[in-house]
Amino acid sequence: MGMPGRENILVVDDEIELREAIAAYLNQEEGYEVQQASSGEEGLESLKKNVFDILITDMKLPGLDGNAVLQQALAIYPEIIGIIITGYGTVESAVQAMKSGAYDYIAKPFQLIEISLLIKQALERRRLKEENAYLKTQLKEKYRFESIIGNSQPMQDIFQLVETIAVTNSTVLVTGETGTGKELIAKAIHFNSQRKDQKIVSINCGAIPETLLESELFGHVKGAFTGAHHTRIGKFEQAHRGSIFLDEIGNMSPSLQVKLLRVLQEREFERVGGTEPVKVDVRIIAATSANLKDMVERNEFRSDLYYRLNVIPIHLPSLKDRREDIPLLTKHFIKKYCQNSNLELKTMSQDAMKLLMNYNWPGNIRQLENAIERAVALVGTRNLMLSSDLPSEIQKTNANLFLSEIYIPDEGVNFKIEISHVEKELILQSLKKSGGNKKQAAKLLNLKRTTLIEKLKRLNLLDQLNVD
Ligand SMILES: Nc1ncnc2c1ncn2[C@@H]1O[C@H](COP(=O)(O)OP(=O)(O)OP(=O)(O)O)[C@@H](O)[C@H]1O
Ligand SMILES: [Mg+2]
């Protein structure tokens, strides 16, 4: 793995010789960025103007003492690593400083390498802490199969496939319309692989301008362009030993496509402005809502890159093509949002459920999730969520006719009521088509006119309708 980003260090000491020796050593031998201050006050000025990872300060200073500088530094950067230099007679106050947040102290006289080792140890500890926190939040959440919902055959097949291929190192291309769960599946692959204890680093190739994207992906060396004050590693290096998720891969420019192809073939690249090849061990998972194959045919996407990416294709079906998953997903999201808001578990009314089952879902699962979140927020103290709690575009769905899948909830249905819904809907639609003419409507339904009128009466439709 390449060099980590260069940390910034501030050295505060009124003794010029010691201060400069420390600064020179840390900069020249260890490659850190080092700034110096000759007093506590000067140090504070610096702290306000620049971002620092590490503060090394003498305890005894003419004005503000080392502890005061550290306290103010911690107020600005809670994560700053504070190292206090103590001389004869200040050890006790150094112990005090540690109690109030210093990482450690070092007693004069010391060798420069000692301070350098202390820094490395502190940085390593910080890295582990960050990594742990990161992994905890990522793992706790989801990406375990239990929280990816789908009983339909296509989803079951996908889960099976994910389980099988997760453990390999093969490149995966996840495709599907917006909101079908591409990112969720990408993360499930990572967290079910042997790389699960390492990071999955995500980048959206569609959201970043081309020039920036290159340095985001591959990093840059100091001075590579105006503003490149430090060498910085990119996402590929950050993902070393883990996985990288390249989202919206179809938006990558032709020149970056070439560079990515090289990473796929050789697992190496150069940082922007750099000359040395950097080698990484990274599992690549790409996703797109565009049709890459079409793009290849139109010469908008390199075919060699396409085939390198498409080693394992996973296509997520649109929600309207697996409507049988809608009830389960709905339940899942109701539970999620009721728990989020500390509400008693709500249920979806039959009418509302039918709307959900028949709607076209251009925004797929994300849209369903948003609709449920909204309905949970609107339902108030009621326990039953009604059609009127759903967004208006969903309310406009024709709920009863031509149900592609009839949904039977666990608690069962009332057969007679359901049938009467269907009857009512058939009658209303035929009347609509006949412009309200009962004779024609009856003909459309292959019923006698009198039978139709009887049904209209029984269903209480006569009063509601303006029919002749
Ligand atoms: N099978 C599923 N079970 C539960 N939740 C899901 C499922 N699929 C998707 N989701 C949820 O739906 C939302 C959208 O999923 P995701 O971000 O993975 O979609 P996407 O395909 O990456 O969309 P886009 O193309 O717009 O980026 C997320 O909140 C995700 O947790
Ligand atoms: Mg996405």
141-186 confidence digits (pLDDT tens): 555 666 789 988 899 999 999 989 999 999 999 999 999 999 999 9
Cα–Cα nearest to 51, from 84, 11, 9:
9
Beta-bridge mates of residue 175: 288, 315
How, if at all, do strands 277-279 and 268-270 pair? antiparallel
The Cα 214–Cα 252 span in angstroms is 10
- Residue 2 pLDDT > 90, yes or no? no
The Cα 334–Cα 372 span in angstroms is 6
> What pLDDT score does 32 carry?
92
Ligand nearest to the CA of 175: 1
Q: What are the structure tokens assigned to 374, written together?
A: 């909204």
Q: pLDDT tier at 3 (50, 70, 90 boundaries)?
A: very low
Beta-bridge mates of residue 272: 220
- Residue 466 pLDDT > 60, yes or no? no
Task: Specify whether the CB–CB gap between 318 and 361 falls below 8 A.
Answer: yes
Percent over 70 (pLDDT), the chain? 93
- Residue 296 pLDDT > 50, yes or no? yes
Ligand 1: distance of its center to the CA of 182 in Å? 6
Ligand nearest to the CA of 330: 1
- Residue 267 pLDDT > 80, yes or no? yes
Q: What are the structure tokens assigned to 45, written together?
A: 């000025």
- Residue 402 pLDDT > 80, yes or no? no
Task: Specify whether the CB–CB gap between 211 and 229 falls below 8 A.
Answer: no
Ligand 1: distance of its center to the CA of 332 in Å? 13
Q: Which atom of ligand 1 is nearest to the CA of 149?
A: 3
Q: pLDDT tier at 465 (50, 70, 90 boundaries)?
A: low
Q: Angle of helix 364-378 relative to helix 350-358, nearest 10 degrees?
A: 160
Please tell me the residue having the least CA distance from ligand 1 atom 7.
181
* Least trusted range by pLDDT, from 30-34, 119-123, 458-462: 458-462
- Residue 306 pLDDT > 80, yes or no? yes
For 207-221, what is the mean pLDDT? Answer: 91
- Residue 252 pLDDT > 80, yes or no? yes
Task: Specify whether the CB–CB gap between 105 and 83 falls below 8 A.
Answer: yes
For 131-139, what is the mean pLDDT? Answer: 66
Ligand nearest to the CA of 365: 1
Please tell me the residue having the least CA distance from ligand 1 atom 18.
181
Ligand 1: distance of its center to the CA of 181 in Å? 3
418 or 120, higher pLDDT: 120
Q: What are the structure tokens assigned to 436, written together?
A: 């309200």
At position 74, the amino acid (one-letter code) is L
Q: pLDDT tier at 1 (50, 70, 90 boundaries)?
A: very low
- Residue 4 pLDDT > 50, yes or no? no
Q: How many other C-beta atoms can be found within 10 angstroms of the C-beta atom of residue 327?
A: 19
Ligand 2: distance of its center to the CA of 152 in Å? 21
423-463 confidence digits (pLDDT tens): 888 888 888 888 889 999 999 999 999 999 998 888 877 76
Ligand 1: distance of its center to the CA of 366 in Å? 6
The Cα 3–Cα 85 span in angstroms is 28
> What pLDDT score does 399 carry?
55
Percent over 90 (pLDDT), the chain? 59
| Integer angstrom CA distances of residue 459 from 30, 410, 420, 421, 441 | 85, 27, 8, 9, 16
List of residues 6+ apart from 33 with CB closer than 8 A: 6, 7, 8, 9, 27, 230
**Pocket mutation for ligand 1, best pick of 141, 153, 180, 331 (most atoms within 8 Å of C-beta):** 180
Q: What is the CATH number of domain 143-317?
A: 3.40.50.300
Ligand 2: distance of its center to the CA of 438 in Å? 51
- Domain residue extents for the chain: 8-133, 143-317, 320-395, 415-458
Ligand 2: distance of its center to the CA of 247 in Å? 6
> What pLDDT score does 301 carry?
96
Q: What are the structure tokens assigned to 408, written together?
A: 């039977």
Averaged pLDDT score across all residues of the chain: 88
**Pocket mutation for ligand 1, best pick of 153, 184, 319 (most atoms within 8 Å of C-beta):** 184
Q: Give the CATH class of 8-133.
A: alpha beta
Exposed, middle or buried by CB within 10 Å (0-12, 13-18, 19+), for 380?
A: exposed
Q: Give the CATH class of 415-458.
A: mainly alpha
The Cα 412–Cα 408 span in angstroms is 6
Q: What is the CATH number of domain 320-395?
A: 1.10.8.60
Angle at 16 between CA 13 and CA 21, to 5 degrees: 90
Whether 143-317 and 415-458 share one fold: the answer is no
**Pocket mutation for ligand 1, best pick of 146, 174, 365, 373 (most atoms within 8 Å of C-beta):** 365
Q: pLDDT tier at 87 (50, 70, 90 boundaries)?
A: confident
Task: Specify whether the CB–CB gap between 400 and 354 falls below 8 A.
Answer: yes
> What pLDDT score does 270 carry?
93
| Integer angstrom CA distances of residue 11 from 26, 225, 286, 308, 399 | 10, 28, 44, 50, 71
Pocket lining for ligand 1, CB < 6 angstroms: 148-150, 176, 178-184, 289, 332, 365-366, 369
Cα–Cα nearest to 15, from 57, 54, 69:
57
Q: What's the N-to-C CA distance of the chain in angstroms? A: 82
The Cα 319–Cα 327 span in angstroms is 12
Could you please report the per-residue DSSP string of 214-260?
A: HHHHH-B-TTSSTT--S-B--HHHHTTTSEEEEETGGG--HHHHHHH
Q: What are the structure tokens assigned to 202, written together?
A: 């995500």
Ligand nearest to the CA of 159: 1
Please tell me the residue having the least CA distance from ligand 1 atom 9.
181
